[in-house]
Structure 1
Amino acid sequence: MTLLVHSAKCQVVGFIVTTVGWIFSMTCMGLAEWRVWYMENSSTPSLGLACIGMWKVCTYQSNSLQTIACHCYTYSDTYLPLNIRISQHMLLAASLLALLGKVLTVMGLQRVCMAHLQKKNTCNLFLASGFLSIIAGAFIFIAVIWNYHSVMNEEGIRFPPSFHIPFRPDWQEIGSTVPVAVLAAILMLLSGLFTLSYQLPPDRQVYPEVSEV
């Protein structure tokens, strides 16, 4: 039993890392600070900056950073650019894949701890979990890179007039949510590598004792 549990110690670490990465991935989806827009020459005097997220946009006063309004996106919004629409689905898929990977890891660890060690089934569970975590991390990285590309190219968004946000700000920069997303992606990739490193313990053979005559 001790040998079986020891052989899956990397998978225990992988499960913990996956859990932390999943929490960070869920957190970055709900935050709005993916892109920060500064609008000094805006026609609305009280409007100083806007934080563009994957699921909402929030506007703030430039002097006190007090929130003016937050608008959540819906699937019927046609003003959202393609990069945000695809990133939304990638982040959702990453969270679901990470959650499924956690379930498979738990099932594999349960087999190991209960000594129900079937080589093919146990390895398949850990392999599937590891690949799901790696795919989840890759999805988050793609969303981060696409967001970075949009900021570097100073791409605009045609928000509805009621938002009082211009098509393109005076300047924009990467928001504070991006490091959280990068950390989530790294944790997902690491957890996948930990889970894939599972090795079955060697078969223990029992040899009969030969009594000396």
Structure 2
Amino acid sequence: MEHVWYMDDPSVSPPGLAFVGMWRVCIYHLDANIRTAKFCHRYTYSDDFLPRDIRISQHLLLIATILGFLGRGLTILALRNMFMGIPQRHNTCNLFVVTGLLNIIAGVLVAVAVHYNYQSVRNSQGIAFLPSFRLPFRPDSQETGCTALVASVGAFLMLLSGPFLLSGQCPLGIRVHPVN
């Protein structure tokens, strides 16, 4: 998720464009000598200029990623148990339920991060970047980037898959020939 900053006022900074993302900022200045000069800075924990909404979103996305990976691993384990015909019916069903819950929680976390991003753009919140970035505190205009749409679709799909896993019957009624 990113904020797209448009800067047109040459008295504050050179005219240009900045992509302020969750993990880095990339700045494109439009100078007379150079058509576009790109400068990118990856955020670190020592960067104290980041606003609270970006910090919170970073943590939410990190937790959602970990839960998503854990959910995928449990899905693979549950499908393996089902395919191998392992007789532990309740354990395999519980793995599908846990995977559904993890998908719902991860989807909610991503949706909250998208909401924080949208609210900060809507409220035109500024960021006090370092002077070397040559960025104003608040741009002339800003909008959400296309990554917010991608994250929203991902959150929706995770939220959609969770109830399917929770509401479905345990698929162990279908027998697959076990591999010896």
TM-score by length of 1: 0.74
Amino acid across the alignment from 2:73: V
Q: Render the CA deviation track for 1:66-86: whole Å, top value 9, x for unaligned.
A: 352011100111111110001
Shift of 1:109: 0.7
Q: Could you say which residue in structure 2 is the equivalent of 1:15? A: none
* Secondary structure, counterpart of 1:37 in structure 2: strand
Structure 1 position 49 matched with structure 2 position 22: no
Q: What is the CA–CA distance in structure 2 between the aligned matches of 1:45 and 1:86, rounded to whole Å?
A: 28
Shift of 1:46: 4.2
5+ residue gaps in structure 2? 175-180
Shift of 1:43: 3.5
How is 1:154-165 mapped onto 2 (pairs within 5 angstroms)? 154-165=124-135
5+ residue gaps in structure 1? 1-27, 29-33, 204-213
Q: Alignment partner for residue 26 of structure 2, among 58, 61, 64?
A: 58
Q: Render the CA deviation track for 1:64-106: whole Å, top value 9, x for unaligned.
A: 9835201110011111111000100111111111010000011
Q: What is the CA–CA distance in structure 2 between the aligned matches of 1:141 and 1:67, rounded to whole Å?
A: 34
Q: Render the CA deviation track for 1:132-165: whole Å, top value 9, x for unaligned.
A: 1111111110011111100111000000001111
Q: Alignment partner for residue 103 of structure 2, among 121, 126, 133?
A: 133
Q: What is the CA–CA distance in structure 1 between the aligned matches of 2:73 and 2:136, rounded to whole Å?
A: 45
Question: Could you say which structure has the larger radius of gyration?
Answer: 1
Structure 1 consecutive aligned stretches of length 4 or more whose deviation exceeds 6 Å: none
* Secondary structure, counterpart of 2:41 in structure 1: strand
More strand by share: 2
Q: Could you say which residue in structure 2 is the equivalent of 1:18? A: none
Q: Could you say which residue in structure 2 is the equivalent of 1:188? A: 158
Structure 1 position 92 matched with structure 2 position 44: no
Amino acid across the alignment from 1:49: L
What is the aligned-residue RMSD (CA, Å)? 2.2
Shift of 1:48: 1.0
Are 1:47 and 1:59, in contact at CA under 8 Å, matched by a contact in 2?
no
Shift of 1:47: 3.7
Shift of 1:118: 2.1
Q: Alignment partner for residue 197 of structure 1, among 167, 172, 180?
A: 167
* Secondary structure, counterpart of 1:60 in structure 2: strand
Shift of 1:116: 1.1
How many residues align structurally? 172
Q: Render the CA deviation track for 1:4-37: whole Å, top value 9, x for unaligned.
A: xxxxxxxxxxxxxxxxxxxxxxxx6xxxxx1011
Q: What is the CA–CA distance in structure 2 between the aligned matches of 1:79 and 1:42, rounded to whole Å?
A: 23
Q: What is the CA–CA distance in structure 1 between the aligned matches of 2:55 and 2:10, rounded to whole Å?
A: 26
Say which structure, 1 or 2, has more relative contact order (CA 8 Å, 6+ apart): 1
TM-score by length of 2: 0.87
Q: Could you say which residue in structure 1 is the equivalent of 2:79? A: 109
Q: What is the CA–CA distance in structure 1 between the aligned matches of 2:35 and 2:66, rounded to whole Å?
A: 34
